[in-house]
Amino acid sequence: MKRLILLVSMALASTAQAGNRADPLHDESMRVSQQFCADAKTTLDYNACSGEELALAQAELSATFAAALAKWQDSQETADALPHAQKAWEVTFEADVAARFAKADAARARGDGVGTAYVSAYNWYEAQLTRARAVQLCEFLRGAAYGERDTPPCDQLVKQVLNEQKK
């Protein structure tokens, strides 16, 4: 049962290149789930660890977005456009999740069972999309579109920018 839940969660969490082992998002999703849920033994354990992973992904996205805003605060056009881009992503995120789980959500609305892996699969999928957006924002934060290229790992770059903002 443990393996089945993990396999279903991972299959649902991968996106466009799910079958491509060279896909970094798929590889990262597999690594995180195997590491994060290594001690999970029950469905409740998987639901809890996938929920914690989603919370971590959301915190990472929030910090990366704040750092991007801080970095580009002197560019009024960028500072104005970035929140609109984030809102548009949020709409796309909700639509993507709704489409991915439409059949299961319809079954739930009818009172039909959807299986024990539903919650963890839902959490893993949202976490994967959220991390993908954080990666996009990190590239924006790096300044690649403007010829810059800050090279530290994203988490270090986010801390650096936010610490500079506090000064």
pLDDT digits (tens, 9 = 90+) for 120-162: 999 999 999 999 999 999 988 887 666 677 678 888 989 998 9
Q: What is the pLDDT of residues 81-118, one digit of tens each?
A: 999 999 999 999 999 999 999 999 999 889 888 888 89
The gap between the terminal CA atoms of the chain, to the nearest Å, is 52
Where are the chain's structural domains?
Answer: 2-166
CA of residue 42 relative to chain centroid, distance: 24
Mean per-residue pLDDT over the chain, rounded: 81
**DSSP 3-state helix, strand, coil percentages of the chain (rounded to 5)?**
75, 0, 25
- Label residues 96-108 b or e (16+ Cβ within 10 Å = b): eeeebbeebeeee
